[in-house]
Amino acid sequence: MANIETPFYFDGLKKFIDLLLFETYRTPTPNGMNKYTLSPNLSNILPTYHTMFHHSIDVNATMNYFEKAVSNFMMYSSKQERRNLFHCYLSSNMRAMVVQTVTLQRKNYSFEQKYFPTNLDDKQIEFTIVELGVMPVHIFTYLTNHFSDFFSATTQEEGMISLEDYEMVIDKYLKHNSPWIILASTNTGFLRIEDDNGNIDFDTKDEENLYLIRFRQDIIRAMELKEQSGNPS
């Protein structure tokens, strides 16, 4: 692994990488051959060394697995770890591009993310992930973009990943991407961009807009109640 000091808040991103690889919240111990056992669910998705150049990704299985990793992170993380992940997003180039990227990708999301309000400021986003324990679409999109090639670039050998390959994964994803990589990832990642821009789960656009307004109001009201209670974060 490259000996490069990373910001403290990258700890949140490191926890998420381990969840993706192992479906556990801590890095497991390698075996006597310096190999880690991958999650069986992940090994069913990843290519092997022999198939990586002609491997076809199952988009639905991949998205389901990714969303489960996000749910597990929200379930097992501490407030500080969620705050660290927020700061990864806050300091990334994705922050300035997130609304446009959400607009492109959200049709592929499940209901909760597809219809999450985008007109939140940074304090509201931080409150939502840290205090409410709800993944904002802004950070969800940051993660899907950041790990856009994870399921095609990470290889396995009989359900195992070597210590060397594990360190390569950490080096690859424990950093910020340039705006150009973010743009390329939006179009080539594991989320297929569809041409249909219509809403799916609401009968009218007005119903969708009303849902988003109420969702945002609930977040703001929760922030106000916390401030009134005087409870520290």
Contact in structure between 148 and 188 (CB atoms under 8 Å): yes
Which pLDDT score, from 0 to 100, does residue 195 have?
Answer: 46
pLDDT for the residue numbered 10: 92
d(CA 109, CA 102) in angstroms, rounded, equals: 10
Q: Are residues 185 and 145 in contact, defined by beta-carbon separation less than 8 angstroms?
A: yes
Q: Compute the average pLDDT of residues 29-54.
A: 79
pLDDT confidence bin for 104, thresholds 50/70/90 = confident
Q: Detail the DSSP E strand segments found in the chain.
A: 35-37, 160-162
Question: Which has more pLDDT, 174 or 109?
Answer: 174
Indicate whether 59 pLDDT > 60.
yes
Q: Assess whether pLDDT exceeds 80 at residue 21.
A: yes
pLDDT for the residue 191: 67
Confidence of residue 48 (pLDDT cuts 50, 70, 90): low
pLDDT over 90 for what percent of the chain? 43
Contact of 161 with 154, CB cutoff 8 Å: yes
- Return the pLDDT at 1: 43
Residue that wins the pLDDT comparison between 6 and 145? 145
DSSP assignment of 55-109 equals PPP-HHHHHHHHHHHHHHHHHH--HHHHHHHHHHHHTSGGGGGHHHHHHHHGGGS
User: Which residues does 136 contact at the CB level (< 8 Å), separation at least 6?
Assistant: 116, 120, 125, 128, 129
What is the C-alpha separation between 227 and 213, in angstroms, rounded? 21
* Residue with tokens 């969702």, as numbered in its chain: 215
Say yes or no to pLDDT of 41 above 50.
yes
- The position carrying tokens 């994870």 is 150
pLDDT bin (cut points 50, 70, 90) of residue 50 is: very low
Nearest CA-CA partner of 66 in 140, 117, 138: 140
126-153 residue pLDDT tens: 999 999 999 999 999 999 999 988 988 8
Summarised one tens digit per residue, pLDDT across range 215-232 is 777 777 777 887 877 765
How do the domains of the chain map onto residue ranges? 10-229
Q: Which of 188, 87, 175 is nearest to 145 (CA)?
A: 188
Which residues are CB-contacts of 79 (< 8 A; sequence separation ≥ 6)? 130, 131, 233
Under 8 Å CB-to-CB from 186, ≥6 apart: which residues? 101, 104, 105, 145, 148, 193
- pTM, rounded to two decimals: 0.83
Other C-beta atoms lying within 10 Å of the C-beta of residue 114: 17
Mean pLDDT of 19-38: 90
Confidence of residue 185 (pLDDT cuts 50, 70, 90): confident
pLDDT digits 0-9 by tens, 70-86? 999 999 999 999 999 99
- Segment 12-33 shows an average pLDDT of 90
Cα(41)–Cα(153) distance, integer angstroms? 17
